[in-house]
Amino acid sequence: MNLHDTTGDAGLDRIRRRPADRRRILFTGATIVTMDPGPGPGVIDRGDLLVEGDTITAVGRGLSAGDAAVVVDATGTILTPGFVDTHRHAWEAQLRRIMPDVDDLGGYVMSTLAGYAPVYRPEDMYTGTRLAALTAIDSGITTMLDFSHNSRTREHSDAAIQALLDTGIRGVHASMGPHFGDWDRQWPGDLARIKDRYFSSADQLLTLRLATLATDEIAGPALAHGAEPARFAAELGIGVSVDAVFGAASSEAVLRWAEGGILGPGTTLIHCTGLTSEAWKAMGETGTTVALAPTSDAQIGLETAIPAIDEALSVGIRPGLSIDVEVALASDMFTQMRTLHAIQRMRAVDAAYGTGRQPSRITTRDVLDFATLQGARTNGLAGVTGSLTPGKKADLLVIQAEDLNNMPLNDPIGTVVLGSDARNITAVLINGEPRKWSGQVLDVDLPALRREVHASREYVLNGTARSGAGECQGLDRDGRTG
């Protein structure tokens, strides 16, 4: 599809002139990768997809939408579900790649959480979160869980949520108090106010979760998961996302949670490197969800530094994928899929080498499933997004299959996972609303955003330098409280 030559700006104008609930958009002639777990075909050649309002209403061939529909000739493209990011600390985005070669968790904790984070104002929370969400949209991520662990005041939380609202992303605000520095101690109680103010409807783009840490090793007992945070989340009717789940202490914590009855599908454990087989067994038996962070685990070196994909699959858990921290890592889901695909297959072949055994390797379809449908399930949104299924919300990507780096199209899933990047994404729809069109993210004044981002970064860096933050926090090299 070439949106400049077919519908182009005129087509976008036609779409946007209609009230959102009365729009009809018919994509025709595309290769459609549905990722639908049902018995239907997973890939439809020369297929059509109909969006009515905010919902996918039909997927197949030879669809008709009537004269009122905007018809988009999608020949030469691949339609896929939007990617789902299950864990990103979005507020850090104006500090992107400030420490690309960080050696360990302690280096990240001491520089970012103990150093930069205490300087942040609400407006810096807004700028970082908005930048992260817009970048997510540009690279095809239509749902992003923002693990917002710098909620120093009510205003900090409000700013982070407003940033998600203003970008139009399908956002999950997972709220946690800061690790270090002064803050109002309003968390977790403030989640009741947040829910009433921003999350009163079940049918909206944003959802709410409680965010915690696995143990008290990094930031003390106030932020650690356990019976009390689980009870509070249950009373609010929201899920829980637990970060820094790795090693022996987290393994023991997982077994305690299982014994206490607080594991289950509404709880997501993040990273999960270096856990014991007993912990994994408990997670599998309770249906607990898992968010892997392939580049974070491998590049920063969290515990074993090996993304725990084999461990998850061995107990029946199909994980979601996540970006984690942009201060050191890539911002896009393509990188996560390729990293996990390569690492798992490398390990499988290495383990079987010289033994005569057949390696058990994951496929490109597996990692695309993790990045879409399983990510949605991990975020508690499996019935809403993650596949191109009639009845689900219209969160989808139009990917150019005939661009220089993708042509000719031989295997659509392989092309999406191994060949594509943000430049190939011609259009992004979220909840039926175009958010990227003709290769450009919409409704963004880029020069103004650039000025805002640079000003926020300079404020944070200058404030950190003035305060000497992070130098006297009582932290050891591992980023644990002394």
**What does each of the 482 residues of the chain score in pLDDT, given as a tens digit?**
444 334 467 689 899 998 888 899 999 999 999 999 877 779 999 999 999 999 999 999 999 888 889 999 999 999 999 999 999 999 999 999 999 999 999 999 999 999 999 999 999 999 999 999 999 999 999 999 999 999 999 999 999 999 999 999 999 999 999 999 999 999 999 999 999 999 988 889 999 999 999 999 877 899 999 999 999 999 999 999 999 999 999 999 999 999 999 999 999 999 999 999 999 999 999 999 999 999 999 999 999 999 999 999 999 999 999 999 999 999 999 999 999 999 999 999 999 999 999 999 999 999 999 999 999 999 999 999 999 999 999 999 999 999 999 999 999 999 999 999 999 999 999 999 999 999 999 999 999 999 999 999 999 999 998 877 544 333 343 444 33
What does the DSSP assignment read for 272-334?
Answer: EET--HHHHHHHHHHT-EEEE-HHIIIIII-TT-S--HHHHHHTT---EE--B-TTTS--SHH
Matching residue, tokens 């914590």: 253
Find out whether 84 and 376 touch, Cβ atoms under 8 Å: yes
Do 143 and 194 lie in a common domain? yes
Check residue 363 and give left, alpha or beta (phi > 0: left; psi -120 to 50: alpha): beta
| Domain harbouring 341, CATH code | 3.20.20.140
92 shares a domain with 77: no
pLDDT at 4: 39
Query: Do both 23 and 136 map to the same domain?
Result: no
Establish if 314 belongs to a structural domain. yes
CA quadruple 271, 274, 278, 280: dihedral, nearest 10: 30
When divided into structural domains, the chain yields a total of 2
The total of other beta-carbon atoms located within 10 Å of residue 201's CB is 8
Task: Identify the domain boundary among 330, 345, 378.
Answer: 378
The answer as to whether 476 is a domain residue is no
Give me the pLDDT at residue 218, please: 78
Tell me whether residue 447 is in a domain: no
Residues 182 and 265 in one domain: yes
Q: Is 258 contained in some domain?
A: yes
Residue that is last in its domain, among 325, 344, 378: 378
**Residue 15's domain is classified under what CATH number?**
2.30.40.10
251 inside domain: yes
Burial degree of 67 (CB within 10 A; 0-12, 13-18, 19+): exposed
Around Cβ 52, how many Cβ atoms within 10 Å? Answer: 18
- Asked if 419 and 277 sit in the same domain, the reply is no
Are 182 and 151 in contact by the 8 Å Cβ rule? The answer is no
Task: Please check whether residues 77 and 96 belong to one and the same domain.
Answer: no
Residue at a domain's end among 378, 410, 431: 378
Q: Are residues 348 and 395 in the same domain?
A: no
Q: Is residue 342 part of a domain?
A: yes
Whether 433 and 313 map to the same domain: the answer is no
Instruction: Please report whether residue 463 resides in a domain.
Output: no
Residue 452 belongs to some domain of the structure: no
What pLDDT, on a 0 to 100 scale, did the predictor assign at position 28? 97
Residues 231 and 196 in one domain: yes
Q: Residue 274 in contact with residue 105, Cβ under 8 Å?
A: no
Greatest alpha-carbon span in the chain:
69
Kindly report the backbone phi and psi dihedral angles of residue 129, in degrees, each rounded to the nearest multiple of 5, phi listed first: -65, -40
Same domain, 352 and 221: yes
- What single letter denotes the amino acid at residue 5? D
Where in the sequence is the domain holding 25, given as residue range(s)?
Answer: 8-82+386-441
Same domain? For 257 and 356 the reply is: yes
Give yes or no: residues 116 and 263 share one domain.
yes
Look-up of token digits 């199909």: 318
CA atoms within a 13 Å half-sphere pointing along the CA-CB vector of 256? 13
